[in-house]
Amino acid sequence: MSTDDFGILSFGAYVPRSRLQRSVVAAANAWFAPSLKGLAKGERAICNWDEDTITMGVEAARDCLGDRDRAGLSRLVLASSSLPFDDRLNAGVVANALMLPSALRGLDFTGSQRAGSSALMEALEGGGAMGPTLVVAADARKAKAASTQELHYGDGAAALLVGRGQPLAALVAAHSETVDFVHQYRMHDRAHDYAWEERWVRDEGYLKIVPRAIDAVLKKAGVEAGAVTHFCLPGTLSRIQAAVAKRCHLSDASVRDALAAVCGDTGVAHPLLMLAAALEDAKPGDLILLAAFGEGCDALLLRVTDAIATARPHFGVKGALARRREDGNYMRYLSFNGLLDMERGMRAEPDKPTPLTVLYRNRDMIQGLVGGKCRACGTVQYPRQRYCVNPECNALDSQDDYPFAERSGKVMSYTADSLTYTPDPPTYFGMVAFDGGGRMLMDFTEIDAGRMDVGLPVRMVFRIKDQDPLRGFQRYFWKATPA
Partner 1 sequence: MATGIKDKVVILGMGCSKFGERWDCNAQDLMVEAFEEALADAGIERKQIEAAWLGTAIEEQHLGKSAVPLAMTLRLPYIPVTRVENYCATGTEALRGAVYAVASGAADIALALGVEKLKDTGYGGLPQRGRGALNDLFWPNISAPGSFAQLAAAYRAKHGADQKDLKRAMAHISVKSHDNGARNPKAHLRNRITEDDVMRAPMIAEPLGLYDCCGVSDGSACAIVTTPDIARGLGKKDLVAVKALQVAVSNGQEVQYDQWDGSYFATTRVAAARAYQEAGITRPREQVSLVDVHDCFSVTELVTMEDLQLSPEGTAIRDVLDGFYDAEGKVPCQIDGGLKCFGHPIGASGLRMVYEMYLQLQGRAGARQLKAPTWGVTHNLGGFPSQNVAAISVIGAYGA
Interacting residue ranges for partner 1, rule: CB under 8 A = 345-347, 349-352, 354-355, 358-359, 362, 365-366, 379-383, 385, 389-391, 412-422, 426-427, 429-431, 433, 437-443, 453-455, 465-466, 475, 477
Nearest approach, Cβ of residue 476 and partner 1 (Å):
9
Nearest approach, Cβ of residue 424 and partner 1 (Å):
11
Nearest approach, Cβ of residue 408 and partner 1 (Å):
15
Report the C-alpha gap between 306 and 299 in whole angstroms.
23
Q: Given CA atoms 352, 479, 448, 454 in this order, what sign does their dihedral have? A: negative
Nearest approach, Cβ of residue 410 and partner 1 (Å):
11
At residue 196, what is the residue type? W
105/347 with CB nearer partner 1? 347
Nearest approach, Cβ of residue 93 and partner 1 (Å):
14
Nearest approach, Cβ of residue 155 and partner 1 (Å):
23
Angle at 106 between CA 103 and CA 112, to 5 degrees: 170
- Give the residue among 17, 42, 29, 23 at the shortest CA–CA distance from 339: 29
Do you know the residue count of the chain? 483
271/371 with CB nearer partner 1? 371
338/391 with CB nearer partner 1? 391
72/436 with CB nearer partner 1? 436
179/433 with CB nearer partner 1? 433
145/416 with CB nearer partner 1? 416
338/350 with CB nearer partner 1? 350
At residue 266, what is the residue type? T
- Give the residue among 250, 272, 115, 264 at the shortest CA–CA distance from 280: 272
Nearest approach, Cβ of residue 416 and partner 1 (Å):
4
Residue 137 in contact with residue 122, Cβ under 8 Å? no
255/432 with CB nearer partner 1? 432
Nearest approach, Cβ of residue 357 and partner 1 (Å):
9
Nearest approach, Cβ of residue 18 and partner 1 (Å):
19
- Give the residue among 362, 296, 348 at the shortest CA–CA distance from 121: 296
26/442 with CB nearer partner 1? 442
259/389 with CB nearer partner 1? 389
Nearest approach, Cβ of residue 91 and partner 1 (Å):
21
